[in-house]
């Protein structure tokens, strides 16, 4: 039996094979967090395999049927991956998404068959776009929380997941456009298919790379602030507010002074938990005190910038590079150092050095 393959089928076959290999690595040879990324790649690979089989059936004289069980709600596993990274567990209610996804991708197509393909596509679009928006919401919330916990945000904001989501949104825009165009032109959709195939293959390789370099963000659950009730306007006493503000300011200054005196900010691995241990303060209480004036990320990095400015005028400046001085001040990442310095000083570290020389 001879099988005819064109360039699109060869790319699909390569993408499917790569996705399965990477999925096995993440499922059996990687961290617990990456198990869900492995499931995501596995389900994405099965989607590609279905497209590949459909093309085989179209261009050859025989039929190669793929069981409907090969369909899995890929993006639900991406939800699990993000939640495992952020919370160090997957909330029980999130499993409802998997049940709903399996119902929509397996049971409904099995019940109504392929008789109403447009209806099935609309369901798929609505479900997956909703999942994408939900993941975006989690990531934005995570970015707000992480600055209260870490002084170094590199590889901790999961910003690369946003790229996946934008690519998926691009896919759905492409597929919706393809559905509309196919009503008037039967040849142009082939161009869309080529773009989609190549983009999917590149995406699989890129996800594999990012998944391998992405560390587990939290060994324990990230502290989440309690919701603060709204103030009752009629019951606020102005004098009590002033006293309370002064108390908060004193608490903040006391914490800041201890951080400075003991140079705790020079620890490149410093986070809210380790700082709370050093100060003998409960983590939740420390977070409250810091957030009355700023956030953890800004506080620690502003102190590091001040330390760098002191070091650059010390004898160490003749022995170390700018990055070496930044490391001495507590920065472990060049990007964090440059971003924090420019935000506070309005110029780059090199420009600041040149101004000192002048």
* pLDDT, mean over the chain: 82
Question: What's the pLDDT tens digit per position in 9-53?
Answer: 888 889 999 999 999 999 987 777 889 999 999 999 988 888 888
Domain assignment present for residue 209? The answer is: yes
Question: What's the pLDDT tens digit per position in 130-144?
Answer: 999 999 999 999 988
Give yes or no: residues 199 and 248 share one domain: no
Q: What is the mean pLDDT of residues 226-252?
A: 55
Q: Is the pLDDT of residue 254 over 50?
A: yes
Measured from the Cβ of residue 267, the count of other Cβ atoms closer than 10 Å reads 16
194-198, long-range: CB < 8 A, 24+ apart: 194/8, 196/171, 197/8, 197/11, 197/12, 197/15, 197/51, 198/11
Give yes or no: residues 65 and 190 share one domain: yes
Distance separating alpha carbons of residues 155 and 14, to the nearest angstrom: 29
Crossing angle of helices 33-59 and 189-213, in 10° steps, is 160
Q: Is the pLDDT of residue 219 over 70?
A: no
Give yes or no: residues 261 and 178 share one domain: no
Question: Structurally, how many domains does the chain consist of?
Answer: 2
pLDDT confidence of residue 238: 47
pLDDT confidence of residue 234: 44
Q: How would DSSP label each residue in 307-350?
A: HHHHHTTSGGGGTS-HHHHHHHHT---HHHHHHHHHHHHSS-HH
Q: What is the CATH number of the domain that holds 254?
A: 1.10.10.60
Buried-state track 311-345, b at ≥16 Cβ within 10 A, e below 16 = bbeeeeeeeeebeebbbbbbbebeebbbebbeeee
Q: Is 102 exposed, middle or buried (0-12, 13-18, 19+ CB in 10 A)?
A: middle
Give yes or no: residues 179 and 263 share one domain: no
Question: What's the pLDDT tens digit per position in 298-334?
Answer: 999 999 999 999 999 999 888 899 999 999 999 988 9
Give yes or no: residues 180 and 253 share one domain: no
Rg (the chain; Cα; Å): 27
Distance separating alpha carbons of residues 156 and 145, to the nearest angstrom: 11
Question: What's the pLDDT tens digit per position in 325-355?
Answer: 999 999 988 989 999 999 999 999 999 999 8
- The domain boundary residue, chosen from 191, 213, 235: 213
Give yes or no: residues 121 and 13 share one domain: yes
- Contacts (Cβ under 8 Å, ≥6 apart) of 24: 38
Buried-state track 269-289, b at ≥16 Cβ within 10 A, e below 16 = ebbbbebbeebebebeebbbb
| Tokens, residue 276 | 């709370």
Length of the chain: 358
Give yes or no: residues 209 and 252 share one domain: no
Domain assignment present for residue 116? The answer is: yes
Distance separating alpha carbons of residues 315 and 287, to the nearest angstrom: 36
Distance separating alpha carbons of residues 321 and 246, to the nearest angstrom: 42
Question: What's the pLDDT tens digit per position in 78-99?
Answer: 999 999 988 888 999 999 999 9
Give yes or no: residues 287 and 207 share one domain: no
Model confidence band, residue 182 (pLDDT cutoffs 50, 70, 90): confident
Give yes or no: residues 71 and 183 share one domain: yes
Question: What's the pLDDT tens digit per position in 49-66?
Answer: 888 887 776 555 555 555
**Which region among 75-79, 80-84, 122-126 has the lowest average model confidence (pLDDT)?**
122-126
Give yes or no: residues 201 and 251 share one domain: no
Residue 33 lies in domain: 7-213
Give yes or no: residues 112 and 166 share one domain: yes
């Amino acid at each position: 039996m001879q099988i005819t393959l064109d360039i699109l089928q060869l790319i699909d076959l390569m993408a499917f094979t790569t996705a399965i290999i990477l999925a096995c690595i993440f499922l059996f040879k990687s961290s617990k967090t990456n198990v869900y990324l492995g499931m995501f790649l596995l389900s994405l690979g099965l989607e590609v395999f279905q497209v590949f089989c459909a093309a085989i059936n179209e261009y050859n004289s025989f039929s190669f049927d793929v069981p409907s069980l090969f369909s899995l709600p890929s993006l639900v596993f991406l939800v699990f991956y993000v939640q495992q990274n952020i919370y160090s567990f997957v909330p029980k209610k999130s499993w409802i998404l998997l049940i709903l996804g399996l119902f929509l991708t397996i049971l409904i197509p099995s019940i109504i068959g392929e008789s109403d393909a447009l209806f099935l596509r609309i369901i798929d679009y609505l479900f997956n776009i909703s999942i994408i928006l939900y993941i975006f919401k989690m990531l934005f919330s995570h970015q707000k929380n992480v600055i209260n916990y870490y002084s170094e945000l590199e590889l901790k904001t999961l910003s690369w997941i946003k790229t996946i989501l934008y690519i998926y949104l691009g896919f759905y825009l492409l597929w919706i456009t393809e559905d509309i165009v196919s009503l008037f032109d039967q040849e142009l959709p082939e161009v869309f298919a080529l773009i989609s195939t190549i983009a999917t293959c590149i995406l699989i390789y890129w996800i594999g790379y990012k998944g391998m370099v992405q560390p587990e963000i939290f060994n324990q659950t990230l502290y989440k602030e309690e919701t603060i009730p709204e103030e009752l306007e009629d019951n606020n006493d102005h004098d009590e507010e002033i006293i309370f503000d002064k108390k908060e300011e004193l608490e903040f200054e006391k914490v800041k002074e201890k951080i400075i005196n003991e140079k705790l900010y020079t620890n490149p691995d410093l986070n809210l938990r380790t700082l709370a241990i050093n100060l003998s303060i409960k983590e939740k209480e420390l977070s409250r005190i810091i957030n009355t004036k700023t956030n953890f990320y800004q506080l620690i990095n502003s102190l590091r910038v001040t330390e760098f400015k002191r070091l650059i005028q010390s004898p160490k400046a003749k022995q170390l590079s700018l990055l070496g001085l930044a490391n001495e001040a507590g920065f472990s990442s060049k990007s964090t150092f440059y971003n924090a310095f420019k935000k506070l000083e309005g110029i780059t570290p090199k420009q600041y050095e040149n101004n000192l020389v002048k």
